[in-house]
Structure 1
Amino acid sequence: MRPRTVLPAALAAALLALTGCGSNGSSDAAGDEGAVSPSTASSPAQPPAGSDGSGTGANGAKVPSALNFTATTVDGKPFDAKTLAGKPTVLWFWAPWCPKCKAQAAETANVAATYQGKANVVGVAGLDKNTAMKDFVADTGTGSFPHLSDENGEVWKRFKVTEQSRYVILDKNGTTVYEGVLPSGKGLADKVAGLTG
């Protein structure tokens, strides 16, 4: 067997082993678990080799390394994260079969609608096939904001996410200010309000 073909399966198995989705563990009990203070916050991995290095997003804002990546949406459209530069961004990491993710959907969609134009909300789907991801978006009514199909876990790895139903919140400069679980999305609106006010 070639290691290259085993990597996606191994990543999925590792993520599943670490996940708390569907368990009654106490890891979701604290709404601020995983909070990162601004003084200790750090950006994710450096931009991939071969990036165009333009340095500015669609709105003219400087593109931080955290947002220097491309992906494909669950609808098959190209997505360039540079377009998110200059505004706070919520990355919601979810899996189609996860009940905790489904419970977060309504609040996440509400935050996306409330802060449209002031903050970005992007779903990052993984741990399943694109067909299941599309069904999740339709079933949860979260189609008003983009969802990335991250079947190979590239965006998950970039942000060091090891379990679904997780939020990574970046400030307008691309610095991670929060990373953790928010049961049913509770507290997400307050966190975004603090970055847009």
Structure 2
Amino acid sequence: MRARTLLPATLAAALLTLTACGSGDGSTPDTGAGSSSAEASSPAQPPAASNGNGSGAEEAQVPKVLNFTATTVDGKPFDAKTLAGKPTVLWFWAPWCPTCKGQAAETAKVAADNAGRVNVVGVAGLDKNAAMRDFVSDTGTGSFPHLSDENGEVWKRFEVTQQSHYVILDKNGKTVYEGVLPGGRGLADKVAGLTG
């Protein structure tokens, strides 16, 4: 009987703690991929600020997995919250990887064929940013964003341990596929299953 009275009090205390984590008191800055995810689920916080581009991300519920920020290979800030509400393909690659180069054309084609319906984001790692920029230029994959993950924060977040790896999320942020797709074969079918 005592356990029944303690459970509601424990839950209330946990919810109060979660709400306090997203209070924006400045004690934990939101500076990178490892930033706190409590604010995404806190009812006191809006899902995402309007960015004025009409993307609709501000209306979508932001899943915990997309509560991170990064920098693109061309030095622009990137907020993964903008991916909320649409299926997302995360392509983890390294500039020196021949398998990754072999996936570039198909990944770019899937991105172009599904523009506006599916997010495609490259996540570059295991090298320096200059090499990452060269890879994007050499492979013609500049039509979609690529994150410069030199410190491996996004790779760690998604528990990726090898290059040429795809993580595909549905519109709710649930992982529906992760693994290697040689030459990108099968990527279009996996994406079609999320949009059709």
Measure the CA separation in 2 of the matches of 1:117 and 1:183. Answer: 25
Matched positions, count: 152
| Matching residue within 46, 49, 68 for 2:36 | 49
What is the CA distance between 1:136 and its match in structure 2? 0.1
Unaligned runs of 5+ in 2: 1-32, 51-55
Aligned twin of 2:112: 113
What is the CA distance between 1:126 and its match in structure 2? 0.1
1:91-125 deviation line (CA, Å, top 9, x unaligned):
00000000000000000000000000000000000
Unaligned runs of 5+ in 1: 1-45
Whether the aligned pair in 1 keeps the contact of 2:34 and 2:153 (CA below 8 Å) is no
Pair 163,55 (structure 1): closer, same or farther in 2 beyond 3 Å: farther
Q: Letter of the 1:56 partner, please give it.
A: P
Aligned twin of 2:175: 176
What is the CA distance between 1:47 and its match in structure 2? 7.3
Measure the CA separation in 1 of the matches of 2:161 and 2:94. Answer: 12
Task: Point out the structure with max Rg over C-alpha.
Answer: 2
Q: Which has the higher contact order (CA 8 A, sep 6+)?
A: 1
Whether the aligned pair in 1 keeps the contact of 2:93 and 2:124 (CA below 8 Å) is yes
Normalising by the residue count of structure 1, what TM-score does the alignment of the two structures yield? 0.74
1:136-175 to structure 2, matched below 5 A, reads 136-175=135-174
What is the CA distance between 1:56 and its match in structure 2? 1.9
1:112-167 deviation line (CA, Å, top 9, x unaligned):
00000000000000000000000000000000000000000000000000000000
Normalising by the residue count of structure 2, what TM-score does the alignment of the two structures yield? 0.74
Work out the percentage of aligned pairs sharing the same amino acid: 77
1:23-62 to structure 2, matched below 5 A, reads 48-49=35-36, 52-53=39-40, 54-57=45-48, 58=50, 59=56, 60-62=59-61
Describe the SS at the equivalent of 2:116: coil
